[in-house]
Structure 1
C-alpha cells in the first residue's frame, strides 16, 4: 500500500470543510487529534477510540469515516467534512434544522457523527426509507433514547431537501 507523502516539518495538507488547510502534526496522529487540536474544531468527539460509537465520524471525500482511527496522513489531498462544515449559522444544513425541529438530541455527544452520516446518506439517497436510515446510523451509539426522533428528523430533512 502506498503511503501519502507528507512535506517535511510535519505539515499535512487537505481540504477541511471546503477550505485548504496545512496542519503541523505528526503523520502518525489520528485525524481526530488533528481536527480537535491544531484545526481547533470541537464537533468530532472522542468517544471510544475503537470505531465502536461513531461520535468521531466525519466525511472523507463524502463517505463516513472514523476520525479516531484514521491516520491524518490518510487525509492528505482529500476533502474532510465535519459537522461544522455541513452548514453555517446563517444557512444551516436541512438536517441541522430538522434535528432542532424534531428535538432529536438530548446530550448531543453523538449528534455530530450522526449528522455527518445522515448527510452522506441523503447525498447518495435523497429519499431513504426507514430501513436505509437505520442502516446508515447503525454505527452510532446513542444512549439518550432519541432514536425515533433522530429517524423522524432525517426523514424530515429528506422531505425538505426534496421540496
Structure 2
C-alpha cells in the first residue's frame, strides 16, 4: 500500500484550503432584501445564505410556516410566491426581492377564516397540526392550478405535502369541499 502521508499536497490544493479556512472565519456577507409579505413591505438585512423559510420564521417571526425536513420533501414550509406554491426551505430569501409572499398568517384570521381554513376545521383536516399550514397553503394554490375533479387528482396534486398522522382522507375532503363551492 502506498504511503501518502509523505507526499506533499499539490500547491493548488494548499492554496485552495487556505482560502476556504480564511473565508470560514470571516463574518457572513449581509445584503439588504425587501420582501412583500402578506401585503406588507419588509426591509431586512440578511446573510446571503438565508432561506426564505428562515427569513420568515427567524427574522419576521411568522412561525406559522413550519420547518419540517428542511430538504423540500415534506411541504410543511409551503408558502405562496407571486401566487404559486413554493417550498420556502429550498429558496433563498434574497432571490425574492420584490416578490409577493403569502404565508398562512396572510390567508385569514380567527374571526374571518379563509374558506380553505374553514373547510379544514369542518372536515377535521388536521391531527397534530404540524403539516396543516403547508397543507392549507398547497390546497389554496391548487384552486388556481389545473387539477382533475377526482379525489385521486387532488391526492396527486397534493403529493408534495406529507402528513405523518395520516389525515389525508380529511384533507382531500376539505379541498374538494372548497373546490365545489
TM-score by length of 2: 0.78
Residue 43 of structure 1, aligned match among 64, 67, 90 = 64
Other structure's SS at 2:143 match:
helix
What's 1:84 paired with?
A: 105
> After TM superposition, where is structure 1 displaced by more than 6 Å over at least 4 residues in a row?
none
| Structure with larger RCO (C-alpha < 8 A, sep 6+) | 1
Residue 107 of structure 1, aligned match among 113, 117, 128 = 128
What's 1:12 paired with?
A: 33
Other structure's SS at 1:99 match:
helix
Q: 2:150 matched to 1:129?
A: yes
Deviation of 1:64 after TM superposition, in Å, equals: 1.0
User: Equivalents in 2 of 1:158, 1:67: separation in Å?
Assistant: 25
User: Equivalents in 2 of 1:9, 1:150: separation in Å?
Assistant: 40
Deviation of 1:127 after TM superposition, in Å, equals: 8.0
Q: Is the 8 A contact 2:147 2:157 kept in 1?
A: no
Residue 117 of structure 2, aligned match among 96, 100, 103 = 96
Change (3 A) 1:128 1:19: farther
User: Equivalents in 2 of 1:149, 1:9: separation in Å?
Assistant: 44
Change (3 A) 1:61 1:128: farther
User: Equivalents in 1 of 2:87, 2:133: separation in Å?
Assistant: 12
Deviation of 1:131 after TM superposition, in Å, equals: 2.9
Q: Which has the higher helix share?
A: 2
TM-score by length of 1: 0.87
Q: Give structure 2 stretches of 5+ with no counterpart.
A: 1-28
